Structure 1
């Protein structure tokens, strides 16, 4: 049925164009003779029209005039019509000279008729499209939801053209900071003012939706616009920058809801894919903690580089099952080996590495929740984060794994809590093992909080909003460094491709973000205000800092070829550290929390355990502040 309808429409258009040839030919004769055509010329013109129709019919088909749809007629269709008519006019002129009909076809007819034909064929298509668009999108039928577009550049123009064909949206205006564009129109839609006028314009026009169409603007500009949308109480969407993956996609299909990444306003981390591919392609890779937020994203990112095998190692059966199902579906060409196991299980680790001989191990398994690890579970944090790291690292050394990458945290810098101290001790264990390693290179990657990771503040806020609030923030001035899960994973891959052994890589994470501002933005992002969803301050928790740091006081940094990565030079660690540490880690009793904190202070001199919440009154200054 559909094919029959399509064929019927094509035949109808073809018949119309042939009638256009007849009409243009007739009008040319009428104009040539300024009214009534002499009988002999009328008779000769009718005879000539027969073979002229055949010429144009062949050319119309040859130039594919009926592949397109009139309702979407555009410049390429007009160009095809122009080519067909021009070639047809040339053939008719040559034919009239060769055939020498009597009476001779007037030269003015040979010139005027193709012009009329082009106007009739092109104009009819343009009128048909305009009428359809007015009827369906602009006038007589549904108006769609009113929307403002921010930006009046080339990307916005393409988006506006698609919006005007969309029955879902009704474009009511454009905002742009370029004063030369004020009052001017883009595809019939007017530039109403600057982006700063958003709240006033949206309120006056009763607009609830905005599309940000400035993909080439700097990150700070995106953050400003996104914040204005949240403050104005409108539901904002964004047109992202074009990437290889979105090449060729319609602009409207690329529009997505604005999220916290846009409000944070961070430049995306770009990685040197060639070096990462050299490290991973056709290799066996292993990820511990593969079911976690960072571990699972690492697996997704790595499989893009086509490793020979991926060993996904995690203690959670359900997490490994979910990851395995996802990866087999998305990357069926790569063998995924799901292993259920504890990182403290030395026998299993040795067996797995002996069997699959990984080239690189990413150690992402850790207990990371600060309050949960501070009391009652402090010894479990030590065992998992320190002893687990040691046993995975020793297994890697025994099996001559080329690279061992430890995932660390900014909380390891001048730690005030058990979790941070255990991660710093894990870093020290890797540094000590590096000194006695013949083949395995140890690298550490240290970064801040990860947006959306399990147990982080954003999922907590989202749950609280879903329950109607309030949002709980520990302190009005508390700040944290943030990055996205893909950013964190890409940083790990980049650092692992650059490591030579013993480095602690840190990310230039920009400015710290105030958690209270994040909470307000998230409330606005979900369409609420602070009267509907309140923010409640609960006070800092034990071991919690007001400000996090990325570098310890004694550390310095050096540049790397990657603009977002630096290397921290930590204090020297004794090669005998592990031998001295093992008896404590393997003791056959569970120390009390106070004993754990006391002993951690002995192993990690920079650790300052807090019996009460720690408040630092100023943002860290000095050499380390250069990063921010």
Structure 2
């Protein structure tokens, strides 16, 4: 027989032994404790009534035996032995009150019919005292057991208890999975539904989001999982903005459209991206516009390995072109996007031919060879140098690529009789103050000139602002700076930019290109402008860190202002004319 070490703390040892018992043994132990409590409650009720030490007579012994015989069926029917002790809540108190009240009434009734009442049997006040004592002791035994069973878990998962935002099916599945693991343990749910708050679901309490500060302090919460896959983008953004107030690591479950089935949902959780804060409610794309220039046609994308070009390729292949031509000067990025598309093709059973072509957009000979051999129908010209400081310091390279590369591509496309040519432009082309913006504006003028001369090829330009996560965006820079411990560098406290997600921008580019009649300059609705300083603060908080400033000198990451770079604007413009003309698409406008 194993004995407890005299130096071992009693409560943790007892908690571990209880935790190790199989569920059936825990139920039998609970029944044994309940029987003992009920007998003790009867005895104390007699002692309090008589005011002296009490020894039952024969009739009273019968009453003692009747109590568990009546109580156990009632307790079983009430579900007191179905609930998992570790997860019982205060709501079980009402169940216990109802069960013991019924037991008391039945016990008294049986005593009356058996003529076991009176001084020698059951005095009138004893059932009342018994009921009160039994309620307190039965409820107390369960809360004591819950506290004991939580002791080892609290120690094991100290600092690793998490909250789940959303008590629906997805949240419950996540909670079940987490309980079976060893990394995190759910402390409860957060939910906006007042009908669910303060109730228990899947053995966990559902709290109102306003209780979050108290829960963080009580459980040492450092992580919140947002499990609302059916919520709108707007609602998810509001939730993430709310959680952004606290020093928490926030992870999010993808939208329902991204979830193939309900299995392994915990593996689908991802870190909250800045697009969850800045992204807009998506609108249904016009399928006719998406297909118009792509379906069963040969499509070419220059700069296919870049952030915009690669997403364009992913969107294009979904529309089932006959062939997609990937054109890029970088062998590495060209290989990457080719492999991604091949995987996508295999997964979705597409029959599109994928051809990767190495080449420079300034090389008319190479362009002519590719375009003539492949008989291109639609061309998306995404190849460009777009990083403002780099182009500012490399003017000749910027002019050659952005101006002469665009001109060579467009002229070759016209020579080969390509049906549609779409130039990816930028908001920096509006009243440009830097070399990059100026080169893109001249590229637009080149395209407009060719459009005026063209009798077959339809040229157009699509102008938009920054895209989240692109190679030239501040977002990857901020992410690297945060991982390195800071500081995060912002050029000016008042600088603002427009942002859009890469998938949304790419879809709108394809739809805008399909609307073109020739020479059009399309503008994409970029939504509300964002202050870069706010973006930096959001990204720091989303990483579970705090901004270090004069108000929070104990913070983790400082923000430093480096001054506007040469040619950089405080704000970007999307329009040349005073008002934009609406199109059939609510987020696409004519300049």
TM-score, structure 1 normalization: 0.64
> Out of 357, 371, 379, which is 1:353 matched to?
371
Cα 1:549–1:269 change in 2 (3 A) is farther
* 1:390 matches 2:407: yes
- 1:437-448 to 2 correspondence within 5 Å? 437-448=454-465
Match of 1:585 in 2: none
2: CA distance between counterparts of 1:388 and 1:533? 41
The total of aligned residue pairs comes to: 430
Match of 1:337 in 2: 355
8 Å CA contact 1:269, 1:564 repeated in 2: no
Cα 1:196–1:441 change in 2 (3 A) is farther
The structural deviation recorded for 1:235 is 1.3
Q: Which moved more, 1:325-334 or 1:455-464?
A: 325-334
* 1:401 matches 2:408: no
2: CA distance between counterparts of 1:322 and 1:154? 37
1: CA distance between counterparts of 2:259 and 2:179? 25
- 1:283-432 to 2 correspondence within 5 Å? 283-331=297-345, 333-375=351-393, 377-432=394-449
Match of 1:566 in 2: 589
* 1:544 matches 2:568: yes
- 1:492-533: per-residue Cα shift (whole Å, max 9, x none)? 222223323222222222111111121122222223222222
1: CA distance between counterparts of 2:448 and 2:438? 15
8 Å CA contact 1:283, 1:359 repeated in 2: yes
Match of 1:52 in 2: none
The structural deviation recorded for 1:288 is 0.8
2: CA distance between counterparts of 1:160 and 1:273? 39
Segments of structure 2 that go 5 or more residues without pairing to the other structure are 1-145, 548-554
Cα 1:563–1:475 change in 2 (3 A) is same
8 Å CA contact 2:300, 2:379 repeated in 1: yes
Q: Which moved more, 1:246-255 or 1:440-449?
A: 246-255
Match of 2:124 in 1: none
> Out of 150, 162, 168, which is 1:147 matched to?
162
TM-score, structure 2 normalization: 0.68
> Out of 468, 489, 492, which is 1:472 matched to?
489
- 1:326-385: per-residue Cα shift (whole Å, max 9, x none)? 33344354332222222111222122111111110000011111122224x223322221
- 1:442-465: per-residue Cα shift (whole Å, max 9, x none)? 121111111221132112112222
Match of 1:501 in 2: 518
The structural deviation recorded for 1:244 is 6.4
Cα 1:318–1:510 change in 2 (3 A) is same
Q: Which moved more, 1:409-418 or 1:399-408?
A: 409-418
Match of 2:60 in 1: none
8 Å CA contact 1:311, 1:338 repeated in 2: yes
- 1:76-111: per-residue Cα shift (whole Å, max 9, x none)? xxxxxxxxxxxxxxxxxxxxxxxxxxxxxxxxxxxx
Segments of structure 1 that go 5 or more residues without pairing to the other structure are 1-133, 569-628
- 1:542-595: per-residue Cα shift (whole Å, max 9, x none)? 11111111112x243222232222222xxxxxxxxxxxxxxxxxxxxxxxxxxx
